Structures are given as structure tokens and as C-alpha cells.
Structure 1
Amino acid sequence: MTLIGLVRHGQTDWNLAHIFQGASDVPLNATGVEQAHRALDSTPEFAWDGVMSSPLIRARLTAEVIATDHSLPLIGVHEGFREVDFGWAEGKPSAEAYAAYPERDFPDRESVDAVLERVCAAVRDVSAQHPDGRILVVAHGTLIRYLASAVAQRDFTSLPNTSLTLLEVSPTLWRVPMIAGYSLREPFEWAHEEGALPRFDPAWDAPSGIDPATLPLAERSALEEYRPTTEKAPSHTAEESR
């Protein structure tokens, strides 16, 4: 089993201004750099094997900061972790884009199916290259939430900058034991035939936030005394844990 830690990149000026950036190559701002330095502060010390990222500069810079701060090797970039291409909406304020296309069906945008096909292929590449590894991947908010929502079969529609989502990967079973820093008492899981793609409900593609009250939360971080969830873990009461 491979453990992949999906980290959203640090803040950019376009994030701050609520502008669609998607595939546009926008760098971190000063706050984003500081967020990258603090990206793993809310989780216990953990033996990651390395850091990789999307090829976009905001993800690469975040990965470089994390790797330097935690003395981890940088192990490259993968095109499959690039952010969704929003087509017509790129560079436009989100309020303007949503007013024109409330369903987010912007002209020339990349389809959800295409996104899931490439990100699932990227996840499988990482798992094949690091079959028992623990790899951090710095990627993007919409990409990560599409993947997490598809695996969990529920709506996760807003992930904060530098938040951590965990994905456990084996050939026919994927699990999400942590979403955006919230540790789950029982991981969401997707059992499937090898090479299959998860289903994504278009109703989940909407600009809202995660409500911790709706999650089956654990008492502690999923990285504290971490073990694969194929092993029996101690039971916890429902309590928020960031």
C-alpha cells in the first residue's frame, strides 16, 4: 500500500482576489510562502519518503519549501496533478464567472471525467513507483477535491491552502482517512476493479465549504501513531481534529 499526502499549494494573489487561475501559472504570494513553511505544523512528525508536485509554479514552490524545511528529497513533478483547466473562466473573478455560468460549465473547460482520468493515472503511477512509500504530492484545490469526492462519494467542495488530505492506495482499494486536515474515525473507501475510475456526481461541483459537523471525525490526527487502515485501529469518539 502507498500513502499519498495531497497538499494544496500556498496562497497566490489570484486566490486572494477570488480569480479563477486553474491551469494559469500564478506564483505564490508572501502569505503563500509562509503557509508553505507551516504546511505540516498541524500534523505530528511523520516519516515521509519524499515530495513531488504538479508542474505549476505555485505547487512547485510549495513543494520546494516543504522539502527544504523537512529535509525531504524532491522526486519530481507529474503532469497528472496539474490543476483543472477552467477554459473561459481563467483569469476572471469568480463572481463574474459564476454569474455567467452558475453550473460552472465554462466554455472550453476541462471535463470532470478528463480530470479524474489523468489524476487517477497519476496516483497509480506514484503507487507503482513507490509501492510501500509515503509520498507528499503538492497539487491543487479543485483537483484534490474532485479526487476525494469521487473516492468518498460525497461532496468536499473547498480545501484551504496547504491543507493535507491523505489517500491510501492499493490496486483495488483506495481510502481517504483524512480530508483537509480533518482526521476521520472511519475512512471513506472505494473498492474497485484494477484500473477503474470513480464516479463523480456533477451536483458536487459547486463553490461551498466543508462542514466539519458532517464528518465522522477522530480524536487525533490520522498521522499520530499512523497505521494502514487495513489494520485494526483504536476506536475514537467523534471530535474535531485539525
Structure 2
Amino acid sequence: MKLAILIRHGESEANVKNLISEDTEKFPLTLKGRDQVKFTADQIRALKFDGIISSPVLRARQTAEIISEHIGIPYVIDSRIRESGLGDYNNRDISDVGNMTRSEMGMESWDSHIRRFMEAFNSYEGNYTMISHALPIRAAISGFLNFNEEESFGINIRNASMSVIDVEKRKVLSIGSFLVTPKIQMAFR
């Protein structure tokens, strides 16, 4: 892959209920989430990219469908950019997650997130929009910045935000932005 636009799905019912969930068929986008995604789709409409890749989770697929309809490029599903494996914490309130490590909680490891996203990057040629989730996107960005999980805590990946990575040059161009800047426009020419 040359360039990647990592987009977090729009606001979902899980976000409103403060739940963490890896379920593939629960928690659709809210009306606000759909509007957020339409704004993001308008932002990236003028960029030149080769495809859209989506997590298999419903809220990500719905985000990909909206973007696909707005810009006229079909999307594909790739489970390597799915939500984090949450173990026994799946569908629980975010406040239930304590001060334990991922391993102690039976969750997917930080390094696993980075590995699977890097595998996805290496499987495609060209420029792509990738629809995923906050933690996997934060991990992917951290892989390029050589941050461990603790060093990345300040990275806030908001709903429908865009993070852009020049995969070829191993350079992060933006994190969690809602606007396509002139620098991003230049990269996609």
C-alpha cells in the first residue's frame, strides 16, 4: 500500500451506551453517526484512491457503505482491520475495564493489533481508505511512530475522524482529523 486513510466508524449505539463490543451484527450507526460519515465522505471525495476496505463489524460496514455511495467506489471486507478481541469484556460498559493489562483481562494483545494491520497494509497496492475502530487505528498509527500502548494513550481517534499514513515512506501525515488539509491533498496527487 502507498497511502492509507484510516477512518473510524461514525457514532454507533455502542458509543452512546458506553459499551465496548466486537460483535459483527450489533450496534448500528446512530443518525448522528451517519451524518458524521457523510461529512467525512465529502472531505475525501476529491482524493484519488483505489478502494475502500472495511472491518466486518456492522458499524464499520455501514460507514463503508455510506462512503462508497458518496464517492462511487465499492468496498471490501478485511477481518485484519476488525475491532479488538475483547474476550470476557465484550459488550460490557467501558468503565468495567480496570487497570489490568490486556493479557490479564483476556483481551487481544497490542502487538497483535499492529501485526494484523501491517499485514493488511502489505496486501494492497495503491491508495486505500480503511474503515476500522479506535484501538486498532491507534495501534496502526503507533506502529509507524514506534509507540507502545502506554505511549499512545494521548492519541484520540474520534468517530468518523481520519488519520492518514504514507505507508510507503513510513510517515504519519495526520491523526484524528476531520478535514483534508492541503498537505493531504498533495500526497494523493
Would the TM-score normalized by the shorter structure come out above 0.5?
Answer: yes
What residue identity is the alignment partner of 1:79?
Answer: S
Match of 1:136 among 129, 135, 140: 129
Residue correspondence of structure 1 range 172-183 to structure 2 within 5 A: 173-181=169-177
Question: For residue 20 of structure 2, what is the aligned residue in structure 1?
Answer: 20
TM-score by length of 2: 0.84
Assess if the C-alpha contact under 8 Å between 1:43 and 1:221 holds in 2: no
Distance in 1, matches of 2:73 and 2:45, equals 16
Asked if residue 225 in structure 1 is aligned to residue 189 in structure 2, the reply is no
Question: For residue 69 of structure 1, what is the aligned residue in structure 2?
Answer: 70
Assess if the C-alpha contact under 8 Å between 2:166 and 2:172 holds in 1: yes
Structure 1 position 49, deviation (Å): 2.2
Which structure 1 residue ranges, 5 or more long, are not aligned? 184-219, 229-242
Q: Percent identity?
A: 24
Question: For residue 100 of structure 2, what is the aligned residue in structure 1?
Answer: 103
SS at match of 1:36: helix
Asked if residue 114 in structure 1 is aligned to residue 112 in structure 2, the reply is yes
What residue identity is the alignment partner of 2:73?
Answer: L
Tell me which structure has the larger Cα radius of gyration: 1
Structure 1 residues 112 and 178: alpha-carbon distance in aligned structure 2, compared to 1, 3 A threshold: same
What residue identity is the alignment partner of 2:164?
Answer: L
TM-score by length of 1: 0.67
Structure 1 position 104, deviation (Å): 4.7
What residue identity is the alignment partner of 1:102?
Answer: N
Match of 1:153 among 128, 131, 146: 146
Assess if the C-alpha contact under 8 Å between 1:44 and 1:223 holds in 2: no
Q: CA RMSD in A?
A: 2.2
Assess if the C-alpha contact under 8 Å between 2:42 and 2:70 holds in 1: no
Question: For residue 37 of structure 1, what is the aligned residue in structure 2?
Answer: 38
Distance in 1, matches of 2:166 and 2:42, equals 21
**Count of aligned positions:** 180
Question: For residue 50 of structure 1, what is the aligned residue in structure 2?
Answer: 51
Whose RCO is larger (CA < 8 A, sep 6+)? 2
Distance in 2, matches of 1:119 and 1:134, equals 15
Tell me which protein shows more helix as a share of its residues.
2
Match of 1:124 among 122, 145, 148: 122
Question: For residue 163 of structure 1, what is the aligned residue in structure 2?
Answer: 161
Distance in 1, matches of 2:184 and 2:129, equals 13
Structure 1 position 115, deviation (Å): 1.8
